[in-house]
Structure 1
């Protein structure tokens, strides 16, 4: 599923007030962080992830890796903050994805 411009704008507006759920630091992008991001997206569908100053990772590289490995969509990259979206597979958590589909 690719996001249209209107869908991305909608998700950006929803993500504006969110605080980053995960922070990637000097340990880099490891399996524990990937698992945590996957679980957070399953429940929330839309999260922010920030890259700390002490990491060697680049935001665009992390976004590409996460998109490939976890099957999520990168809504926006602002500096060192990623906004990520993935529709939940569970019906009770599918609030945002239903709104996105209707746009």
Structure 2
């Protein structure tokens, strides 16, 4: 679990990055989870956008994706969310 201070730190870092993963009309499917997993391994912090044609609400879709890839939800604002998963081999982000 992330502390409040760590979430605040990650939100600040996430405000300047562009969405890498998009959840569309199929919802959270295997291909979306696989691409999210790869992005998390490379970056550790990933912004996710839920498109308007997604059958789920943004909060539900982002939570389902986080569960599928084993990441933590840092923040959900509107249709965008931030996911964090520490890379066990080589960590790029040092949390406070």
Q: Return the TM-score normalized by structure 1.
A: 0.87
Q: Equivalent residue for 1:95?
A: 92
RMSD of Structure 2 on Structure 1 (CA): 1.1
Structure 1 segments of 4+ aligned residues over 2 angstroms from their partners: 66-69
Q: When you count helix as a share of all residues, which structure comes out higher?
A: 1
How many residues are matched? 96
Q: Return the TM-score normalized by structure 2.
A: 0.93
Question: Contact conserved, 2:28 with 2:64, CA < 8 A, in 1?
Answer: no
Question: Contact conserved, 1:26 with 1:55, CA < 8 A, in 2?
Answer: yes
Q: Equivalent residue for 1:40?
A: 39
Gaps of 5+ in 2: none
When structure 1 is superposed on structure 2, of 49-58 and 79-88 the one drifting more is: 49-58
Of the two, which has the highest radius of gyration? 1
Gaps of 5+ in 1: none
